[in-house]
Amino acid sequence: MNVVTKTVDAQALAAKKKLSAQFLRKGITIALLSGLMYGFYSAFLTLGMTKGVWSDWYGANTAGLSAFILTYVVAAVGSAVNDTLSAVWALFFAGLKGKVGDFFRCLRTTPGRVMILAALVGGPISSTAYVVGLQMAGSIVIPITALCPAIGAILGRILFKQKLNKRMLLGIAICVFASFLIGSTSLGGDAPKGAALGMLIAFVAALGWGFEGCVAGYGTSMIDYEISITIRQITSGLSNLIILIPIFGLIAGNVQLSTGLASQAFTSGPAMIWFALSGLCAYVSYMFWYRGNSMCGAALGMACNGTYSFWGPFCCWIVLGVFAGIEGWSLPLIAWIAAILMVFGILVISMNPLDLFRKKEAA
Amino acid sequence: MKPLNYAILKHFTKVQEACAEDVINALKGEYGKFRALERKAVVTALMTAEANGLLEETRFEMDKSGVLKVYYRAHEEGAATINRYIKD
């Protein structure tokens, strides 16, 4: 099996070690940046949803939208506008780099179809499960969804035989606990009836995101990462617009209203500027998520991306609290403590921390 | 015509081993106009394929101009996976 014939000289060996170290470092940096960009995407999306027509929907509500429409339909419209603009960015950059032809060629292949499936599971299906879970069980579902890096790592082991040892499991557990700590700050005494089912549905969301992370990460070893993300954002944007919003409209008893809301959202200039920015951040975030997972494996890649549970509140605090001057946005001390814990958890996944001391002793 | 990344992986099911330069030389006839067919991008594609178990490293050497060349091959399982997902 192992037919390795290495002609090793010292110079080549040093260059090879450097190349491998650079690759891992680049993978970790990209995966961490995916978490940071997720934070900015969340912040700009939230800011966009306070401007233009959104300020009326979530404020005076002169249109008289029901609680169901505000919770489900308007939230889905926000997600659809963001993902559609993100898809436009993805197509723009793919065009700039001459990859549009390969994008269409990939769509007709098995890996392309698998990427579409991953995008559907992680996009509209998980996002809807998350919102429904949040409505049924309250904020307890937020820390539940923090389990997705652990689920991704386990699925990566089962589906693609990726490396997962006890040390890596410990590191993942530390990261999940840290995300749990941040999520717990938003816990309220708001567990209504049907909370258990709501928690189960939220777990489906975590399962979906874990599935998407590990499957799309593996798929990105076959499909170029800029094409992978174009498939993802177009699938997510279109499925939100064509399937999810009309379904929510149908449940609310007025399909025309939901499409009307979407068209109002798309033509609301003051909000669209921020949606364009959130779409750009989402494009970079998801592309780096896929690429980081493909370079580091699902366990390490998803743990690095999982730092979004710190970057989310951090970026919201910077963009909404500091930049936009909106009151009520701050970052609790526990988030900073959890961030340090996450760094330690990522270190434990990527290497044996004891090796750091061993290297010092050797020197 | 296959997407460029597919052609890169498929190349390893047809040869014993290859490095990034070999891949570029083999594909430049059909994919010469593709901007992604350059050394840095191909090296990253090969290392990503290796990280996901599709390829394995066979050897490496330094050429006369001091450029590191890493050679890879598609082992039995890797080749089977590539052929299962990427058809001719």
Q: pLDDT value at position A282?
A: 95
Instruction: Look at residue A3 and tell me if it is in a domain.
Output: no
Q: Is B40 on the interface with A (CB under 8 A)?
A: no
Q: What's the domain range around A268?
A: 32-352
Q: CATH second-level architecture of B4-85?
A: Orthogonal Bundle (1.10)
Do A161 and B53 count as a contact with CB atoms less than 8 A apart?
yes
pTM (predicted TM-score) = 0.89
CB-CB contact of A42 with A315 (8 Å): yes
Q: What is the pLDDT of residue A255?
A: 85
> Could you tell me if B55 lies within 8 Å of chain A, comparing CB atoms?
no
Residue A69 within any structural domain of the chain? yes
Quick check: A21 pLDDT over 50? yes
Residue A134: pLDDT band by 50, 70, 90 thresholds? confident
CA distance A66 to chain B (A): 47
A278 vs chain B: nearest CA distance in angstroms?
Answer: 27
Residues A81-123 pLDDT 10s: 999 999 999 999 999 999 999 999 999 999 999 999 999 999 8
What is the average per-residue pLDDT within A204-208? 91
- Report yes or no: B57 at the A interface, CB cutoff 8 Å: yes
Higher pLDDT pick, A84 / A145:
A84
Average pLDDT, chain B: 95
pLDDT interval class at A254 (50, 70, 90): confident
The answer, yes or no, to whether residue A23 has pLDDT greater than 60, is yes
Mean pLDDT of A262-277: 95
* Contact call for residues A54 and A294 (beta carbons, < 8 A): no
What is the reported pLDDT for A24? Answer: 93
Express each pLDDT in A230-253 by its tens digit. Answer: 999 999 999 999 988 888 888 888
Q: CB distance from A10 to chain B under 8 Å?
A: no
- Check CB contact of B64 with chain A, cutoff 8 Å: no
Q: Which of A54, A45, A28, A34 is nearest to A285 (CA)?
A: A34
Burial A38-65 (b: 16+ CB within 10 A, else e): bbbbbbbbbbbbbbbbbeebeeeeeeeb
What's the domain count of chain A? 1
Q: Which of A221, A231, A294 to mutate: most B Cβ within 10 Å?
A: A221
Please state, rounded to an integer, the average pLDDT across all residues of chain A.
87
Question: Rounded CA gap, A336 and A345, in Å?
Answer: 14
Give the count of beta carbons closer than 10 Å to the beta carbon of residue A66. 14
Tell me, yes or no, whether A358 lies in a domain.
no
CA distance B21 to chain A (A): 16
Q: Does B75 touch chain A (CB under 8 A)?
A: yes
Is the CB of A16 less than 8 angstroms away from the CB of B70?
yes
Res A3 pLDDT > 50: no
Q: How is chain B split into domains, by residue range?
A: 4-85
Indicate the pLDDT class of residue A361, thresholds 50, 70 and 90.
Answer: low
Q: Is residue A15 part of a domain?
A: no
ipTM: 0.94
Which residue in A has a C-alpha nearest to residue B55's C-alpha?
A221
